[in-house]
Copies of this chain bind each other. A is one copy, B any other.
Amino acid sequence: MSEVVSKTTLAKGTTGILAGLTTEQKNDALLTMAEALRSESVSIIAANREDLERGRQNGTPESLLDRLALDEARIQVIAEGLQQIAALPDPVGDTLETLKRPNGLSIEKIRVPLGVIGIIYEARPNVTVDAAGLCLKTGNAVVLRGGSSALSSNRRIVEVLHAALAGTAMPPHALQLIEDPNRSSVDEMLKLNGLLDVIIPRGGSSLIQNVVMNATVPVIETGAGICHTYLDASAQPRMAQEISLNAKAQRPSVCNAMETLLVHRDYAREQLLPLAEAFRDVHVELRGCAETVALVPWALPATLEDYATEYNDYILNIKVVSGTEEAMQHIAQYGTQHSECIVTEDSGNAARFLQEMDAAVVYHNASTRFTDGFEFGFGAEIGISTQKLHARGPMGLPALTSTKYKIYGTGQIRG
């Protein structure tokens, strides 16, 4: 039996116990995990150093090594994350609906755990703890398959968490780490129908596409964001500039950052040049349509491929459009249904954009950077769903649950 099958089978064996744990028992496990991470920080940092050294030998760029690196402060933040998850309300067991039928049947719709969740992700070892915490809080077993570059860190973290769980009501086998660094272990997880109830990929678009295109297990697609901001003719210039700069440059590496700015022709005439200067001041490279290049001499010509690219970097496409209609058409063609914004003082255009634009989150006069579970007040986020089934947009704890119907009868049969 492969590592993937044997560990997932162990995880599945715990789902009955997990579904029956009280909120207090689950929170106690999370707090014990947090405590263990703190008291074992030295050994975790030592394991992390192995990953960093191997990364340096393999020529990993410093920016990626920085995301991989753990120190005392980062471990404190990770442990605090578990405490925050413990403090959140537990959705499991909630009664969502009660139906009383004319034949006397009483039907209750109850929130239950999904079962066994597979998480496939990349380098950052904080995801190991965060995903484990969110899944266990919702009574799910979890099978983690992290990137090989963080294997030593992840292995040590899971050892520490297993030892911590051994003293709690939470069965340690509910948390599994796949250590096989070969791609075949991912492929195997994707086809594990019957053992895995859902797979959630967290990472770059190639990782996500591989999961979506090859999984037979149900998937919650997360992540890819080609987000747009449309500045309408009546946009307030100061607000338009603040929102645009924030959406692009406050943190360009994330999925809710803007990749393309659409500008109404009437607005562009006076306002595009000062806006472009503001982008130049924060070192954002501009690529534009012909009209943009005519107004902003240092802008490079944008290609159709540019419009379809998630840069995650200090690069921005700019396109001049004739109005809301053309802006929405461009977004429909190039967007990923993630987060789209209109900046306007025209309430009719705003209402139309919010109604018709098909995306997880649509904004009037606010930065797309708010598409985030914490900013929504969920207190946690397992990812941002860009699919339409099950969950859409930022996913908090309820996205990690399913439901079941309990029916209470007194001998009813169907006529």
Contacts and interface: CB of A to CB of B under 8 A. Distances in A.
Interface string A398-415: 000011111111111110
Interface stretch (A142-150, A216-224, A285-293): A216-224
Contacts of A402: 388-389, 392
Contacts of A220: 389
Given A197-B388, A218-B387, A361-B404, A377 B99 contact: yes
Contacts of A243: 411, 413
A360 B405 contact: yes
A366 B403 contact: no
Q: How many copies does the complex hold?
A: 2
Interface in A98-134: 99, 101, 105, 107, 112, 114-115
A410 B16 CA distance: 48
A362 interface: yes
A231 to B, nearest CB: 13
A414 B390 CA distance: 28
A369 interface: yes
A370 B414 contact: yes
A405 B236 CA distance: 24
B250 A375 contact: no
Contacts of A216: 212-214
Interface residues of A, number: 66
Tell which of A20, A216, A414 has the most Cβ of chain B within 10 Å.
A414
Contacts of A37: none
A316 interface: no
Nearest to A403: B392
A33 interface: no
A366 B105 contact: yes
Interface stretch (A181-189, A268-276, A300-308, A350-358): A350-358
A245 B413 CA distance: 9
Given A362-B404, A404-B360, A218 B410 contact: no
A193 interface: yes
Contact of A363 (B236, B366, B403, B409): B409
Nearest to A393: B405
A128 B360 CA distance: 30
Nearest to A402: B388
A305 B245 CA distance: 64
